[in-house]
Structure 1
Amino acid sequence: MIKIAVFASGNGSNAENIIRYFKDNEEIRVALIISNKANAYVHTRAKNWGVPSYTFSKDEFEKGDPILQKLREYQIDFIVLAGFLLKIPDSILKAYPQRIINIHPALLPKYGGKGMYGDHVHKAVLQAGEKESGISIHYVNERYDEGDIIFQARCPVLPSDTCEELAQRVHRLEYEYYPQVIEKIAKQACGGIDKKNDEQ
């Protein structure tokens, strides 16, 4: 069984979609939710699905060790970011090489980087007069949104689009494709896993 931890900072709709996708999967399941905000709605969603969730401060994330201890406690094999706004520290990157992925609501390398999340991205896409947008799923490295791209899906940007309308179109791509890509990449990365993280 491949155990996934989902990191989320806010509402958690993507996190819940991922939990739902894997709920009857015999090879992969979401075993843990981690957030940097105690009042994030993702905790409520996790509780409704019976998935344990924990909050860590920005300082704890920067140190990395408290999060690593929790990941080891739950024997986590693979990490998924779903609307998570903090940078992943080097200690976690080193413990999970090529086993941390993120989804970004635009076609990277455009409209990425620090501060580019959620509606900030969609507003920038609209202001630039882009004809298309979409999603990018990528490996996580030490810089925001600069890890190798795994998968992209595109959608049109209509001249009449509001930020909310474009966001809804991008969300549909996220819900459809992110769980599928997680399943594929997690199996590739963890197929021969030997619980190395327990030994570090």
Structure 2
Amino acid sequence: MSEKRIVVLISGSGSNLQAIIDSIAAGSIAGRIAAVISNRADAYGLTRASNAGIDTQVMDHKQYPDRAAFDNALQETIDGYQPDLVVLAGFMRILTPDFVRHYAGRLFNIHPSLLPLHKGLHTHQRALEAGDPEHGCTVHFVTEELDGGPLVVQAPIPVLPGDDAESLQQRVHILEHKIYPLAVAWFCAGRLELTATGVLFDGTPLPANGFRYTDE
């Protein structure tokens, strides 16, 4: 099987991008990152990409008249790299339905909660305020519903008595860097497929909450 071409979209530090870069370098992912695109010129993830010899692009959304115009230009740039998979790695933009539909079945996101709990922002604080016994992160296919696409894999952690939002965030980040490369590896190996009825893994339907990842 030929290696898959990946385009990664970022807005910030790119720690999940680095985890994917490292997994490719280790031979765990049968793919290569064709480009990293950021809507912020100061995103440190661009430096991570350059250090790995990956092509980078900056597309400042403020230079476009509206969301649709930016997404159209972004789509054109992405398609120039002919990606098999587009990975949102801390890309802080709400994407238009047309953009999402264009990449249906080949667009990933990672979210810092156990979806469908706590869609949107401030997930760690909201988990604490809700008294959740566990928290974590989720890799999912992106659909038009914000943080609502079919789930691929979740990694839970217990919420400890002394936890605050910062400690939860730090512990969740560690798991993000494990399950995002894992999901990308599965996709690049041809093991994942999004169908009209849900996600298939090796041809078998995944449960609605996806895989439950543990370090054990």
Report SS of the residue matched to 2:190. Answer: helix
In the other structure, the counterpart of 2:110 is 103
Among 45, 48, 70, the alignment partner of 1:45 is 48
Q: Which amino acid aligns with 1:10?
A: G
Q: What RMSD, in angstroms, separates the aligned Cα atoms of the two structures?
A: 2.1
Instruction: Write out aligned runs for 1:48-127 (5 A).
Output: 48-58=51-61, 59=64, 62-63=68-69, 64-113=71-120, 116=121, 120-127=122-129
CA contact (8 A) 1:77 1:190 kept: no
Instruction: Note the residue ranges of structure 1 that are not aligned, 5 or more in a row.
Output: 192-200
* Shift of residue 187, structure 1, vs aligned partner: 3.2
Deviation of the 1:29 alpha carbon: 1.0
The one of 151, 154, 161 equivalent to 2:153 is 151
1:4 aligned residue: 6
Q: Comparing 103-112 with 44-53, which one deviates more in the overlay?
A: 44-53
Runs of 4+ in structure 1 over 4 Å off? none
Residues of 2 paired with 1:107 and 1:178: CA distance?
14
* 2:177 alignment counterpart: 175
1 CA distance for matches of 2:93 and 2:112?
Answer: 16
1:126-181 deviations in Å (ceiling 9; x for gaps): 22222110111111011210111111111011010122211111111111111011
Secondary structure at 1:188 match in 2 = coil
Identity of counterpart residues, as a percentage?
37
Q: In the alignment, is the contact (CA less than 8 A) between 2:101 and 2:143 conserved in 1?
A: no
The SS at the match of 2:189 is helix
- Matched positions, count: 186
- How does the TM-score come out when normalised to structure 1? 0.85
More strand per residue: 1 or 2? Answer: 2
For the residues of structure 2 that align with 1:126 and 1:175, how far apart are their CA atoms?
Answer: 22
- Give 2:179's aligned amino acid: Y
Residue pair 1:98, 1:189 contacting (<8 A) in 2 also: no
Of 35, 40, 50, 1:32 maps to: 35
